[in-house]
Structure 1
Amino acid sequence: MSAHTATRPATTDDSRAHPPRRLRYALVLGGLTAFGPLSVDMYLPALPSMAADLGTTDATLQLTLSSFIVGLALGQLVIGPLSDALGRRRPLLVGIAIYVAASVLCAVSPSAELLIAARAVQAVGAAAGIVVARATVRDLFSGTAMTRFFSMLMLVTGLAPILAPVLGGQVLTWTSWRGVFLTLTAFGALLLAVAAFALPEPLPPHLRSPARLGRVLRTYGALLRDRAFLGYALAAGMIFAAMFSYIAGSSFVLQGVYGLSPQEYSVVFGVNGAGIVLAGQVNGRIVGRVQERTLLATGLFMATLGSAALVIAALLGLGLPGLLPPLFLVVSSIGLIMPNSNSLALANHPRSAGSASALLGVVQFVIGGAASPLVGVFGEDSAVPMATIMASFGVLSLASFLFLAGRPASAPA
């Protein structure tokens, strides 16, 4: 990539990937983006049996999720700059190898304390897949081509959280919770082999940046001072928090308050996830004819209006007929918000794509992870707390975009 290409505006439609290779990239990078949702959601159906088997409490086992989120955030901050300095392949392959080893340790852990520690290490390995996948998209694509590819990845982003608990439940029908972690081990080993043989290095040596601490800190500082980048990152992070609030509270609200059976709840959860996929694919079809900022704004207004309607339905006691349509609207909006916010945030940072990708991921998972307990704190005996928290993050997401990303992006870094 020449200097001219590196500074090309985000409105162009440029790709360094030949069309026959796009499917291969989509499969490999899609698998890498699935590390997070699979590792977070797949073992959730096993939590009760894990508590009994390890002789611990549910509250202690919740720390296995918290340690994973912390490890994911810290891992991204380290691996992002390393991938800018060493290329994408080496940090990725080492990271997946760490993931595989830590997954084995999770499977054989004799105590909750060791499991919590192993989950943190597992998350560091998973972080490599998430960061490198997003940075590789930036290496290979720009402009609308990048947004289209991010939209394609929404197939995985939307389906993985839906399928992970179902897959975990099926694994539990023939084995214990330890088998769930062995399944994750096999998934990691398969991706390690595929990445080693099917993913060429996308970042040429002349575009790499030294990973000296001072330079890394200056890069992160420059990204945080970039109002446009920060606006897009916070918009995505806040909507991610709304999604986490939905994931944390929906089972209690829909089953405990409205009386849905587990099977009916799974159908609702699946329909909402399909909305993410559908919106992402529509986004990929029309981007280029409609600007990314317009599509992002549309998604943010969808989320805000849908969450406002959700609060009204909850306050007025309109029941499931009043609750489910706005809930679908809010969740589906993620299919418009995430591809465009990621593409716009990374567009002006081709030489620090790894660091920018890491910071995007940290913002999303830290804010999202912090939002998860809020529904339980404010009560799960009605839909009002979940709806209000989702609406609050929806408004914050829109405000981040309007007040921070309203100005033109700074020069490429």
Structure 2
Amino acid sequence: MAISSQSIISLIVVLSVTVADMSTDLYSVALSHIADYFNVDGNIVQFTLTCNLTGIALSGLIYGPLSDYYGRRPIMLVGMAIFTIASCICCIADDIILLILARFLQGIGSGVASVIGYATIRDMYSGIEYSKVISKLNMVVALSPCIAPVVGSHIIKWGCNWRFLFFIIFLTTTIMFCLIYFKLKETLIIKHNKASINHIIIRILKQYLLLFRNYRFLGFAVIQGLTFMWLWAYIANYPFIFKYLKIKDEYFGYLISIMVSFYMIGALINRKYVSKIGINKMLTIGLILPIISDGSLLIYYYSIGHLNLYILEIAWILSNIGIAFIISNNVTLAFGEINDIGFGSAFISFCDMAFGATGIYIVGKFFHYNVLPNLVLTVICSITAIVIYSLLHMAKYTNNQLKI
């Protein structure tokens, strides 16, 4: 049976986002080894993650609007080319400063994957159907943080240098660039005539001003950002949490994979029940679950005085299922408020990474408290997100009543 054009495009999007995620997931287990190699503190090495997310955040603001103007395919190619070159530089970095700069450049390139990828999917689907497709794609994309840490931890265990991890990333980005060049078709009907760069810049600024006037879209974008703030803070701190608990390197990947597997279960649940329960209720459940998870851990810690690996893993099941509910449904609601999906996707990606970089910085400042900064940050971010969502929901209900 012939594979449809939509299926091929969706597959390319999945692979692109997976490769982009892998640039962090594969090497994150080696953060403590990189710190030892360059003889620097752990929070300095965590800065490679912060700079990477900053690059993704800034580049996304440009990729989205340019893709609305020139099309998804050419912008995707430009971003993946930058991603490939930066990955090569990471392989040969001989000091921590160069590695940090290379990771920033890598972020500028990899930022194209999610921004253009999800905008491409939005070109083909909308509403509940979009939420279902995103849930399905996120399940596949989740294989990267599920498999990559396991592979990375075993590579380190076998005595391979951390540079080999970046070589694997460079190889996969090269293959991905070729696949996009030969197989990705344009999904956007371009309505613009050729114009000067000044005209394009003015249009981009005007569109972002329109986004900033859309308080509902901004609210959903901030909710997404707050979720990624505590999520990326965990990603940056996992290797050091496990090291503090005296877990061997080869087990890091498996522990992370267990958590990711529950994210995939959450995506499956969302895909099955979103039509029956509704997007809004699924999002509400997703926002509450991390509060129950990390709030319980905080109470347990202050009651008992310590946390162990088994308690952490069991509690984190809820928060990882919650992430799946939030990502799929919050983005769907956000895109329902706007017309220019490229701009919207770019701004949401910016919030994801800017908030994520901030989360990593906060956890790094309180690094000596081990997992406690992560627990507090998760609870604060999730409560704030619920308050914002409640305000958005009440405002919409009030507006509907006034119309009646």
TM-score range, shorter chain: 0.7 to 0.9
Corresponding position: 1:277 with 2:261: no
Give the equivalent residue in structure 2 for 1:12. Answer: none
Q: What is the 5 A alignment of 1:5-404?
A: 20-50=4-34, 60-172=44-156, 173=158, 175-206=160-191, 212-253=200-241, 256-257=244-245, 260-262=247-249, 266-317=253-304, 319-320=307-308, 322-350=311-339, 352-378=340-366, 380-381=368-369, 383-404=371-392
For residues 368 and 406 of structure 1, the distance between their equivalents in structure 2, rounded to whole angstroms, comes to 28
> 1:246–1:390: 8 Å Cα contact kept in structure 2?
no
Q: Which amino acid aligns with 1:345?
A: A
Match in the other structure for 1:11: none
Q: Which has the higher helix share?
A: 2
Structure-2 change in CA distance of 1:217 and 1:103 (3 Å): same
Distance 1:208 1:112 in 2: 45
Q: Which position in structure 2 is the counterpart of 1:4?
A: none
Q: State the Cα distance separating 1:118 from its structure 2 match.
A: 2.2
Read off the aligned partner of 2:48 and give its amino acid letter: T
* 8 A Cα contact 1:304 1:391, kept in partner: yes
Amino acid at match of 1:182: F
Does the CA-based 8 Å contact 1:232-1:405 persist in structure 2?
no
- For residues 352-391 of structure 1, the C-alpha deviation after alignment (integer angstroms, 9 at most, x for no partner) is 2111111101111111111123334335456543322211
- Find the residue that maps to 2:277 and give its secondary structure: coil
Q: Distance in 2 between matches of 1:206 and 1:330?
A: 42
Which residue of the partner structure matches residue 7 of structure 1?
A: none
Q: Is the 8 A contact 2:230 2:381 kept in 1?
A: yes
* TM-score relative to the length of structure 1: 0.85
**Between the two proteins, what is the percent identity of the paired residues?**
25
The one-letter code sitting in structure 2 at the alignment partner of 1:304 is I
Question: TM-score, length-normalised on structure 2?
Answer: 0.87
Where in structure 1 are there 5+ consecutive unaligned residues? Answer: 1-17
Which consecutive unaligned segments of at least 5 residues does structure 2 have? 400-404
Counterpart-to-counterpart distance in 1, 2:343 and 2:193: 12
Give the count of matched residue pairs: 391
Task: For residue 149 of structure 1, report the CA deviation from its aligned partner.
Answer: 1.1
Displacement of 1:322:
5.0
Offset at residue 327 of structure 1 (A): 2.0
SS at match of 2:191: helix
In 1, the alpha carbon distance for the partners of 2:99 and 2:313 equals 37
The structural deviation recorded for 1:305 is: 2.6
SS in 1 for 2:12: helix
Deviates more, 1:178-187 or 1:131-140: 178-187
The whole-number CA distance in structure 1 between the counterparts of 2:38 and 2:251 is 31
Quick one: which amino acid aligns to residue 81 of structure 2?
A
Alpha-carbon distance in structure 2 between the residues aligned to 1:209 and 1:331: 45
Structure 1 CA distance for aligned equivalents of residues 194 and 187 of structure 2: 14
1:314 and 1:323 in contact (8 A); partners too: no
Q: How far did residue 236 of structure 1 move?
A: 1.5
Assess, with a 3 A threshold, how the Cα gap between structure 1 residues 166 and 135 changes in structure 2: closer, same or farther.
same
